[in-house]
Chains A and B, each alone.
Chain A
Amino acid sequence: MLIFEHAQAGRRAHAQAPQAAAPADDLPADALRRIAPPLPEVSELDVVRHYTGLSRKNFSIDTQFYPLGSCTMKYNPRACNSLAMLPQFLARHPLADADSGQGFLACLHELQEMLKEVTGMAAVSMAPMAGAHGEFAGVAMIRAYHDARGDGARREIIVPDAAHGTNPATATMCGYTVREIPTDRDGNVDLAALAAAVGPHTAGLMLTNPSTLGVFEPGIVEIQRIVHAAGGLTYYDGANLNAILGRVRPGDMGFDVIHMNLHKTFSTPHGGGGPGAGPVGVSERLRPYLPIPYVLEERGAFRWAEEADCPDSIGRMSAFGGNMGVLLRAWVYARMLGGAGMRRVADFATLNANYLAAELARAGFELAYPRRRASHEFIVTLKKLKEQTGVSAMDFAKRLLDYGFHAPTTYFPLLVPECLLIEPTETESRQTLDAFVRAMVAVRREAESQPERVKTAPHKLPVRRLDDVKAARELDLAWKPA
């Protein structure tokens, strides 16, 4: 039932009404709304019960194991939320001057400095509001760098075929064309193809490392050499930073510009689709182009760097500087972990992924890259199962939901047929991983003995499988009053 269907004409949540105000008789009549907007007329209890009920139709980290590859669904510590929501933090107006926000800015400056240290970059701006937004800032900085040198012939961004879709989409938004390069049999960037692709037209390369295939690029030094020798810059997509925190830093790998996903690596919540935060880090030569604002410290006082401070900046990313509440959550997390805790993140994310891969392989599942060390995630391919039983990776994923596990990422990366990209994260216990292995085995057994059961899954969720085709063909995007 929709909230609108609970409505009764004239009902309202009376406690939420402000004191009666004078009519707006100073406004011209034709400026005013003639018919009230079709918002629901419901009581406060109606609202609380309806949305509490809806929440219970969601899988979430707090309720289920959520091994969604490339998404780093780790526990979101509750203290990060409660401290970011301290009343003074919530009440502060974004245009209040820096004097009235020294405590807040001190937290943000600390986070900014910690992110520099963790990534090995020369400078950081936390202005971008999501990973893709950080990518945009990063590629815009690459463009600003080439433009400032009068190097306008560099029109192409190179992207491996295993990359997230945001990489090519971002390159297009920045006015670049995209060239995809293939991945070799072991899951690495094809170095010969890269060498053949670069030239005076190359603006840069965007790379995720460890890659979306769940393996570290052992040729990273050579990749850097090839791109830099051709005059291009290198971009590090931080989607998988969780795998290497405190072990190896993007700056030390030679990247010119990076973004981080604080809603992955720094455990801020995904919120059913955001908000995230996508800070960018740069090497010294890209520092002038950083997006604004970022936090400046001057003799122990903090303020935002604005247009006048950085005339070569690629500009503002948002009206008010970014997703501050997300940054505060990341600050709390970073302070609780400290340097040793961050390194443990990578250690145990990697331990969990390799253990789960080993146990699944032992249980008869086929790993896409069995000869490789898994990073924080790995790929199982169900190609043979599909051939034998007709059960696809999608069917398999839907049946896992019935067993109380969120499905791994399916059909990404596209290179591996019938793939499940599995990322357990460091916050899951061995016992949870073992339970997941048992569920995987049980679903496979069902696929072999009663494939229809799996192909028509899920069976135990609030709805059965949804008709996506109908959703797209017969668009129904909004409830309309009868």
Chain B
Amino acid sequence: MPFIPHTQADIDAMLASIGAPSLDALFDEIPAELMCAGLPGLPDGLSEMAVTRLAQERAGRDGHYTCFVGAGAYEHHIPAAVWQIVTRGEFYSAYTPYQAEASQGTLQLLYEFQSMMVGLTGLDIANASLYDGATALAEAVLMAVRADKAGRRRVLVPASVHPRYVAVARATVRHQGIELVSVPWCPQHGHTRVETLDALAASGAAALVVPQPNFFGVLEPVDALVDWAHAQGMLAIAVVNPLALALLRPPGEWGGRGADICVGDGQPLGVPLSSGGPYFGFMTARQALARQMPGRIVGRTVDFDGRPGYALTLQAREQHIRRSKATSNICTNQGLLVTAATIHMALLGPQGLKDVALASHANTRALGERLAAIDGVQRVFAAPFFHELVLRLSAPVDDVLRALRAQGILGGYALARDYPGLADCLLVCATETRSEQDIDTYAQQLARILSRRREAPPCAYKS
């Protein structure tokens, strides 16, 4: 019996103690007509060896690609120490730290994490994680609306914010009658302009979302956007890549007063791509918003003897105390990923994290230069970028991506899915994990694919 230690002698003695004739008798309060006769539709159990063989065979089938896709999930080197420590049973198999005295390891680590995120984003307070960057944006929108004394229920969201984040936020907040108003980007620079926002000044919004870098990799004029929001009496919600903040000015320093809330996805900080998760969302904010924050928050305090210790705090915001009046229903969050990120950030330190950001930027710059030199490839936005770029191709993007994949290259993200106006465009990314040779190979393959299509274009019409 996998994972069940009972011997027949145990079972007999235990049933005798209970005074029950059989295991079946333990279910005698369940109406008989509802009981099922087992689960015949399920396969038989496998030994660990057999399931290992099956998993390895399936994982092997998926192969390995040189990845130039970013779009919200980034391949970075993760130090070996990170996941070796994360998967120690004491972190891996502990529950949410409700019994503080028996959870000081997790609690202190979360306090260190909060401290790191506060430092990275330049705001005052942080929570202990949300599910991912997209749900973190949804929670930030709800938080901004709760904090709005005028009771405004709209939030302005630039179309340059990750489209999946917007989709998740919309699906989350619409039930509470909150509307997300889309703000178009400048076609030349790919970022949001204050002039565009002016037309929305009277829209009755509680907040403006400001991405940095935005979905196209472009740096937004964050100072002007935050100042504009504050001049309208709105809050400013930053959506950031945390790695970029080792290099870029933190949201707490944007504009005259800084952003009010900052969210993002922590995946670039030690979390593997893993087909999309688990990642983690983070949130930092100004002190004044502490009681509006969703999720777990750890505070430093003292014990009976005056020694420092850590505990969950401000729990009166949370569902297990406040029930229907809670700031969010969130309970279980992404603790183990935060464990990874904390260890990751400690290993890299301020210089290491900046080096990774710089190397990713430099690689993407080199990639952009190499690719834009190819006949049939053009850069789309004339604006500074972090580690992603939009390119326009002379051939259908999906065909090109398919041809690249046949060469073992994931060539980027096709923007047609989310932006009909950019149907012939590709979003590319080269992090510090891409070598010069990777970039060379990509450029050579792309040039070959495009030139072959020029020489022998596929037949467009069949008569």
Other-chain contact of A275, B6, B60, B275, B277 (Cβ < 8 Å):
B277
B196 to chain A, nearest CB (A): 20
A44 touches B347 (CB 8 A): yes
Docked CA distance A17–B246 (Å):
14
Contact with B along A278-297 (1 / 0, CB 8 A): 00000000000001000000
Given A37-B245, A107-B58, A131-B332, also A19-B133 (CB < 8 A): no
B133 touches A319 (CB 8 A): yes
Docked CA distance A465–B322 (Å):
24
Question: With an 8 A cutoff between CB atoms, is A450 at the interface?
Answer: no
In chain B, residues 272-324, which have Cβ atoms closer than 8 Å to a Cβ of chain A?
272-280, 287, 290, 296-305, 307, 309-311, 313-316, 318-324
Question: With an 8 A cutoff between CB atoms, is B420 at the interface?
Answer: no
- With a cutoff of 8 Å between Cβ atoms, the chain A residues found around residue B274 in the complex are 89-90, 92, 94, 324-325
Closest to A427 in B: B3
B211 to chain A, nearest CB (A): 13
Stretch at the interface among A191-199, A228-236, A352-360, A439-447: A352-360
Contact with B along A32-76 (1 / 0, CB 8 A): 111011111110100110111011111111110010100101111
In chain A, residues 362-403, which have Cβ atoms closer than 8 Å to a Cβ of chain B?
362, 372-373, 397-398, 401
Question: With an 8 A cutoff between CB atoms, is A476 at the interface?
Answer: yes
Other-chain contact of A63, B89, B168, B278 (Cβ < 8 Å):
B89
In chain B, residues 71-125, which have Cβ atoms closer than 8 Å to a Cβ of chain A?
71-73, 75, 77, 79, 81, 83, 85, 87-106, 108-112, 114-116, 118-120, 124-125
A16 to chain B, nearest CB (A): 5
Given A88-B63, A351-B14, also A132-B332 (CB < 8 A): yes
B53 to chain A, nearest CB (A): 10
Closest to B83 in A: A85
A48 touches B85 (CB 8 A): yes
Contact with B along A174-194 (1 / 0, CB 8 A): 110110000000000000000
B352 touches A466 (CB 8 A): no
- With a cutoff of 8 Å between Cβ atoms, the chain A residues found around residue B128 in the complex are 273
Given A23-B358, A60-B93, A89-B274, also A171-B343 (CB < 8 A): no
Docked CA distance A126–B83 (Å):
25
Q: Kindly name the residue among B3, B125, B168, B245 whose own CB sees the greatest number of chain A CB atoms within 10 A.
A: B3
B300 touches A476 (CB 8 A): yes
- With a cutoff of 8 Å between Cβ atoms, the chain A residues found around residue B275 in the complex are 89, 92-94, 96, 101, 104, 320-321, 324
B51 to chain A, nearest CB (A): 5
- With a cutoff of 8 Å between Cβ atoms, the chain B residues found around residue A420 in the complex are none
A17 touches B355 (CB 8 A): yes
Question: With an 8 A cutoff between CB atoms, is B248 at the interface?
Answer: yes
Other-chain contact of B11, A42, A170, A272, A351 (Cβ < 8 Å):
A351
Question: With an 8 A cutoff between CB atoms, is B1 at the interface?
Answer: yes
Closest to B340 in A: A271
A351 touches B362 (CB 8 A): no
Question: With an 8 A cutoff between CB atoms, is B462 at the interface?
Answer: no
In chain B, residues 320-360, which have Cβ atoms closer than 8 Å to a Cβ of chain A?
320-326, 328-339, 342-343, 345-356, 358-359
Question: With an 8 A cutoff between CB atoms, is B15 at the interface?
Answer: yes
Other-chain contact of A104, B29, B31, B54, B59 (Cβ < 8 Å):
B59
A91 touches B3 (CB 8 A): no
- With a cutoff of 8 Å between Cβ atoms, the chain B residues found around residue A39 in the complex are 116, 119-120, 345-346, 348-350, 353
Closest to A97 in B: B405
- With a cutoff of 8 Å between Cβ atoms, the chain B residues found around residue A200 in the complex are none
- With a cutoff of 8 Å between Cβ atoms, the chain A residues found around residue B92 in the complex are 60, 62, 76, 81, 269, 271
B101 touches A252 (CB 8 A): no
Given A41-B350, A132-B319, A272-B339, also A33-B83 (CB < 8 A): no
Given A37-B353, A48-B81, also A27-B384 (CB < 8 A): yes
B39 touches A342 (CB 8 A): yes
Question: With an 8 A cutoff between CB atoms, is A152 at the interface?
Answer: no
Docked CA distance A39–B250 (Å):
14
Stretch at the interface among B169-177, B230-238, B441-449, B453-461: B169-177
Closest to A476 in B: B300
A51 touches B109 (CB 8 A): yes
- With a cutoff of 8 Å between Cβ atoms, the chain A residues found around residue B46 in the complex are 335-336, 338
B102 touches A406 (CB 8 A): yes
A118 touches B39 (CB 8 A): yes
Closest to A171 in B: B324
- With a cutoff of 8 Å between Cβ atoms, the chain A residues found around residue B26 in the complex are 347, 350-351, 354, 373
B43 to chain A, nearest CB (A): 6
Docked CA distance A471–B97 (Å):
15
Question: With an 8 A cutoff between CB atoms, is A151 at the interface?
Answer: no
On chain A, the number of residues with a Cβ less than 8 Å from chain B's Cβ atoms is 200
On chain B, the number of residues with a Cβ less than 8 Å from chain A's Cβ atoms is 198
B177 touches A175 (CB 8 A): yes
Docked CA distance A468–B297 (Å):
13
Question: With an 8 A cutoff between CB atoms, is A463 at the interface?
Answer: yes
B112 touches A4 (CB 8 A): yes
Given A54-B105, A86-B55, A478-B114, also A24-B247 (CB < 8 A): yes
- With a cutoff of 8 Å between Cβ atoms, the chain B residues found around residue A88 in the complex are 59-60, 62-64
Question: With an 8 A cutoff between CB atoms, is A22 at the interface?
Answer: yes
Question: With an 8 A cutoff between CB atoms, is B23 at the interface?
Answer: yes
Question: With an 8 A cutoff between CB atoms, is B373 at the interface?
Answer: no
Docked CA distance A259–B322 (Å):
22
- With a cutoff of 8 Å between Cβ atoms, the chain A residues found around residue B162 in the complex are 319
Closest to B122 in A: A37
- With a cutoff of 8 Å between Cβ atoms, the chain A residues found around residue B14 in the complex are 351-352, 354-355, 430
- With a cutoff of 8 Å between Cβ atoms, the chain A residues found around residue B209 in the complex are none
B278 touches A326 (CB 8 A): yes
Question: With an 8 A cutoff between CB atoms, is B194 at the interface?
Answer: no
Docked CA distance A458–B309 (Å):
13
Given A37-B245, A169-B328, also A464-B101 (CB < 8 A): yes
A335 touches B101 (CB 8 A): no
Question: With an 8 A cutoff between CB atoms, is B149 at the interface?
Answer: no
B95 touches A351 (CB 8 A): no
Closest to B114 in A: A478
B186 to chain A, nearest CB (A): 16
A19 touches B43 (CB 8 A): no
B125 touches A221 (CB 8 A): no
- With a cutoff of 8 Å between Cβ atoms, the chain A residues found around residue B41 in the complex are 117, 339
A339 touches B38 (CB 8 A): yes
Question: With an 8 A cutoff between CB atoms, is A201 at the interface?
Answer: no
Closest to A77 in B: B3
Given A169-B324, A426-B3, also A467-B302 (CB < 8 A): yes
- With a cutoff of 8 Å between Cβ atoms, the chain B residues found around residue A270 in the complex are 93-96, 332, 335
Question: With an 8 A cutoff between CB atoms, is A415 at the interface?
Answer: no
B51 touches A335 (CB 8 A): yes
B35 touches A274 (CB 8 A): no
A319 touches B165 (CB 8 A): yes
A395 to chain B, nearest CB (A): 12
Given A463-B309, A477-B299, also A21-B91 (CB < 8 A): no
A62 touches B90 (CB 8 A): yes
Question: With an 8 A cutoff between CB atoms, is B13 at the interface?
Answer: yes
Q: A177-B324, A274-B96 are in contact. List 17 more A-B contacts (CB 8 A).
A: A18-B356, A37-B119, A39-B345, A41-B351, A66-B95, A89-B275, A94-B275, A129-B334, A269-B336, A270-B335, A271-B94, A272-B335, A272-B336, A321-B277, A325-B278, A476-B300, A477-B290
Ordered nearest first, which 9 A-B pairs have the shortest CB separation? A62-B89, A320-B276, A315-B171, A271-B336, A338-B45, A273-B335, A94-B276, A103-B58, A339-B42
Q: Could you pull out 30 A-B pairs where Cβ atoms are within 8 angstroms?
A: A13-B352, A16-B352, A18-B359, A22-B362, A32-B247, A38-B116, A48-B81, A59-B102, A79-B51, A94-B273, A96-B67, A104-B62, A132-B330, A164-B320, A173-B329, A178-B324, A216-B29, A267-B3, A275-B278, A275-B334, A315-B167, A316-B168, A318-B132, A335-B46, A337-B2, A338-B44, A407-B99, A462-B104, A463-B307, A472-B316
